[in-house]
């Protein structure tokens, strides 16, 4: 009876063993790539994760979806009050530093004919103050040699005050009075600030290298329309009558000298950049 039962069970047991071996071998072998080019899934991953308790599709698709500590994120993104105050002080300091250097950029240029600083002079300057009432200019002048041996160069520092700006229209402005002073120096031999030794002490009593001058004048300004501006926003034409300290002293001590003898006329053009 025992051998009869064993003969019946033996084929079934062999079939179960073969089936288990086949399933194990197929799970261990890699699958061919899918048609869309994605990596194949092994037999172990073919199991539906939803069928297991405690699993969800979202947790499998994005395993790094756990929220971080909010205290850590807040500390990394926003600076402390002390750091914010330090940053704001630094920004203000840099802004003041830039503003001071930007004020040194010249905002107008001048070309002038005659005026006791050279036959032709050119230079640059700054206008500032309330309604641009003040101007400071630096100019270089060309002094032809005439009866001298060579052409000379002069340097001038000029300060001007413009009390009134009277608009005639949207494009024209008249400045009925300009007043100021300038100091001029000429480079070259034969000019001195202290008397040479060949002269007795106090023989001249003045320097020939540096002259102080005062002047009065007027200007007419044309405001260039915005659509036509290229490098300047306005152009002004001006004239000035000036005299030097030496001429004034001479006129006071010598009544034979007329006013026209001590005045010098200058005409020029001012180009206002901004």
The pLDDT tens digits of the residues spanning 129-164 come to: 989 999 999 999 999 988 678 899 999 999 999 999
Best CA proximity match to 123, nearest among 103, 139, 101: 139
Residue 173 lies in a domain: yes
**Would you say 243 and 214 are in contact if contact means Cβ atoms under 8 Å apart?**
yes
Mean pLDDT value across residues 160-188? 96
* Rounded Cα distance, 213 and 191, in Å: 17
pTM of the model: 0.65
User: Among 7-11, 15-19, 55-59, 96-100, which stretch is predicted with the lowest mean pLDDT?
Assistant: 55-59
Residue 94 lies in a domain: no
> What is the b/e burial string over 54-73, where b = at least 16 CB atoms within 10 angstroms of the residue's CB?
eeeeeeeeeeeeeeeeeeee
Quote the pLDDT of residue 27.
52
For the beta carbon of residue 176, count every other beta carbon within 10 angstroms: 13
Give the domain extent around 114: 108-272
User: Among 8-12, 91-95, 124-128, which stretch is predicted with the lowest mean pLDDT?
Assistant: 8-12
Residue with the bigger pLDDT between 193 and 36: it is: 193
Is the per-residue pLDDT at 68 higher than 90? no
Residue 29 lies in a domain: no
Best CA proximity match to 116, nearest among 252, 240, 238: 240
The CATH number of whichever domain residue 251 belongs to comes to 2.40.160
* Total domains in the fold of the chain: 1
Q: If you average pLDDT over each of 139-153, 188-202, 229-243, which comes out highest?
A: 229-243
HSE toward the beta carbon, residue 117, CA cutoff 13 A = 32
Mean pLDDT value across residues 166-171? 96
DSSP, residue by residue, the chain: -HHHHHHHHHHHHHHHHHHHHHHHHHHHSPPPPPTTSPPPPPTGGGS-GGGSTT--HHHHH-TT-SPPPHHHHHHHHS--HHHHHHHHHHHHHHHHHHHHHHTTS--EEEEEEESSS-SEEEEEEEEESGGG-EEEEEEEEEE--TTSSS-EEEEEEEEEE----EESSSSEEEEEEEEEEEEEEEESTT--SS--TTSPTTSS-S-SSEEEEEEEEEEEEEE--GGG-SS-SEEEEEEEEEEEHHHHHHHHH-TTS-HHHH-EEEEEEEEE--
Residue with the bigger pLDDT between 249 and 35: it is: 249
Residue 244 lies in a domain: yes
Residue with the bigger pLDDT between 3 and 82: it is: 82
Residue 25 lies in a domain: no
* Rounded Cα distance, 15 and 13, in Å: 5
Residue 203 lies in a domain: yes
Residue 100 lies in a domain: no
Mean pLDDT value across residues 36-54? 47
Quote the pLDDT of residue 59.
44
Residue 123 lies in a domain: yes
Residues 6+ apart with CB under 8 A from 262: 243, 244, 247, 248, 250, 251
Calculate the average pLDDT of the chain: 80
Quote the pLDDT of residue 132.
93
* Rounded Cα distance, 116 and 243, in Å: 8
């Amino acid at each position: 009876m025992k051998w009869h039962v064993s003969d019946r069970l033996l084929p079934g047991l062999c079939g179960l063993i073969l089936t288990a071996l086949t399933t194990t071998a197929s799970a261990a072998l890699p699958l061919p790539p899918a048609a869309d080019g994605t990596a194949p899934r092994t037999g172990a991953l073919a199991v539906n994760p939803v069928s297991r308790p405690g699993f969800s599709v979202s947790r499998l698709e994005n395993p790094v979806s756990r929220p971080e500590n909010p205290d850590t994120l807040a500390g990394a993104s926003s600076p402390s009050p002390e750091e914010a105050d330090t940053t704001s002080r630094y920004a203000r300091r840099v802004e003041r530093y830039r503003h001071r250097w930007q004020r040194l950029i010249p905002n107008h240029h001048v070309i002038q004919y005659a005026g006791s600083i050279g036959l032709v002079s050119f230079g640059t300057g700054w206008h500032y103050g309330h309604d641009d009432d003040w101007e400071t200019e630096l100019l270089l002048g060309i002094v032809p040699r005439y009866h001298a041996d060579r052409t000379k160069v002069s340097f001038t520092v000029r300060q001007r005050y413009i009390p009134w700006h009277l608009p005639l229209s949207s494009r024209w402005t008249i400045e009925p009075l300009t007043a100021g002073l300038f100091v001029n120096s000429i480079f070259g031999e034969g000019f001195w600030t202290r008397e040479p030794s060949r002269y007795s002490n106090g023989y001249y009593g003045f320097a020939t290298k540096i002259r102080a001058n005062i002047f009065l004048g007027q200007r007419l300004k044309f405001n260039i329309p915005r659509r036509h501006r290229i490098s300047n926003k306005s152009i002004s034409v001006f004239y000035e009558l000036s005299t030097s300290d030496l001429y004034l002293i001479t006129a006071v001590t010598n009544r034979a000298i007329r006013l026209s003898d001590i005045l010098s006329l200058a005409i020029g053009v001012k180009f206002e950049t901004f």
